[in-house]
Amino acid sequence: MFERKMILSKRYYIETWGCQMNEEDSEKLSGMLANIGYEKTLFKDQANVIIFNTCAVRENAELKVYGNLGALKKLKRDNPELIIAVCGCMMQQKGMSEEILKKYRHVDIVFGTHNAYKFPEYLERARTEGVQVKEIFEKETDIVEGMPITRESTVTAYVTIMYGCNNFCTYCIVPYVRGRERSRKPEDILAEVRDLVSKGYREITLLGQNVNSYGVNLEQDINFAGLLRLVNEVDGLERIRFMTNHPKDLTDDVIEAVRDCSKVVEQVHLPVQSGSDTLLKSMNRGYSKEGYLETVRKLKERVPGVAISTDIIVGFPGETEEDFLGTLDVVETVGYDTAYTFIYSRRKHTPADRMTEQVPDKVKHERFNRLVEAVNRKSLERNSACLGNICEVLVEGQSKYDPEVLQGRTRTGKTVNFKGEEELIGNLVKVRISKVGTFSMNGDRVV
């Protein structure tokens, strides 16, 4: 009886693959569902709406979606009322939504990244008409403001400042699935930040595929550095993060804004992708290894203690051992606090997919392992420098493994675990670092 009741009530389950943009989109989908009376569940078998918000950046992410979709067939058989929706970047690829609907007959709704705001309408149609609903907009729309949102955290929040990307790096599918760059108006961004602060949020992350080109298409005369300075003035806000940057566009005025604005943290994510000029050129990145290192030097000089993180791809078409050594050299020279490492994945319709010199899998994996070794060694080195220091930590929540342990982050974005009471969540506390690892640190609260 109990189980039946659970299924009859309005519950949704949402699974998100990919980047922070997708996470924020899922928070908006959750907001729309909350508006029409749905509650979130963490269990698929208790949901009557299941949403998969997909990522298309690498093949691996897509394979996971296929596997998970297959596994839903049984749930749908047991509960024919269940509505299954698939959305996100994967759906924006040519022919993909048709393929999903054909291969997975139990999927009820597919929609793309540009029309997520219409989800409640699709849900209603799937329910009342009992047909598969599909709508994908090929092109981006004007920005839809004022969408409801149910955020995952009560302490930190994402604030999207721009959508889309104009860069067309040759390996990347994002410009094809997220459309061209559009910036939100500064007044809309500020209103959202003020509203977040009034609800108790202490930290925000300004999001965009390339935040450095913020403002380009706006009537107002504003750029990213100007926006940082405006957001820095919001009373009650403690920390401002931003991501992601493009090395070719991270100009001096942004570095100076990071230096001058007390709320902007000392952490910059600066994806290098490769340390070989030949590859940077064929990736269409628009900077050289030396140009990148020069930006890093400026950052380190003007923002003392800055933590730098990056994204790196190994096995891009044509990558030679020498090219790869160039990448390892950047890792050694910069000494990243964190680096996200990726094996090149062929994406249909991108220029790199048509390049002839694809690197064999075995070579890709061998280089990947060497890269990970260097990246982890450097992260540990950087974290070791914090040993004994007293850091300011914004407490974000309890550890998954031990409710007596709290988890938070330093201004430089490092995860810190320490013993403390739940009441501290949402506060800035001082923690003396007593133990460091590659990915996180432990410490004791200092009062």
Q: Which residues of 120-156 are buried (b: 16+ CB within 10 A; e: fewer)?
A: eebbebbeeeeebbbbbeeebeeeeeeebbbbeeebb
Closest distance to ligand SF4 from the beta carbon of 427 (Å): 35
The residue count for binding ligand SF4 (CB under 6 A) is 10
Closest distance to ligand SF4 from the beta carbon of 444 (Å): 40
Tell which residue, 121, 28, 133, 47, has the closest CA to residue 86: 133
Regarding 273 and contact with ligand 5AD (CB under 6 A), the answer is yes
| Rounded distance between C-alpha atoms, residue 343 and residue 357, angstroms | 15
Regarding 17 and contact with ligand 5AD (CB under 6 A), the answer is no
Tell which residue, 69, 74, 71, has the closest CA to residue 91: 69
**What phi and psi values does residue 197 have, to the nearest 5 degrees?**
-60, -40
Contact 223, 253 (CB under 8 A): yes
* CB closer to ligand 5AD, 172 vs 406: 172
The amino acid sitting at 401 is Y
Regarding 313 and contact with ligand 5AD (CB under 6 A), the answer is yes
Q: Which residues are CB-contacts of 281 (< 8 A; sequence separation ≥ 6)? A: none
Q: Angle, nearest 10°, between helix axes 289-302 and 321-334?
A: 10
Q: Which does 344 bind (CB under 5 to 8 A by kind): ligand SF4, ligand 5AD, none?
A: ligand 5AD
| Rounded distance between C-alpha atoms, residue 269 and residue 250, angstroms | 11
Closest distance to ligand SF4 from the beta carbon of 173 (Å): 8
Q: Name the one range near ligand 5AD by CB under 6 A: 28-36, 344-352, 399-407, 427-435.
A: 344-352
Q: Name the one range near ligand SF4 by CB under 6 A: 166-174, 193-201, 386-394, 429-437.
A: 166-174
x/- binding map, residues 53-92, to ligand 5AD, per CB under 6 A? Answer: ----xx----------------------------------
Contact 411, 377 (CB under 8 A): no
Q: Within positions 345 to 374, which residues make up the interface with ligand 5AD, using CB under 6 A?
A: 345, 347
Binding residues: 19, 55, 89, 165, 169, 172
In this chain, which of 53, 54, 156, 210 binds ligand SF4, going by CB under 6 A?
Answer: 210
Tell which residue, 233, 232, 227, has the closest CA to residue 264: 232
Binding residues for [4Fe-4S] cluster: 19, 55, 89, 165, 169, 172
Regarding 175 and contact with ligand SF4 (CB under 6 A), the answer is yes
Closest distance to ligand SF4 from the beta carbon of 308 (Å): 17
Binding stretches for ligand 5AD (CB under 6 A): 57-58, 171-172, 271, 273, 311, 313, 342, 344-345, 347
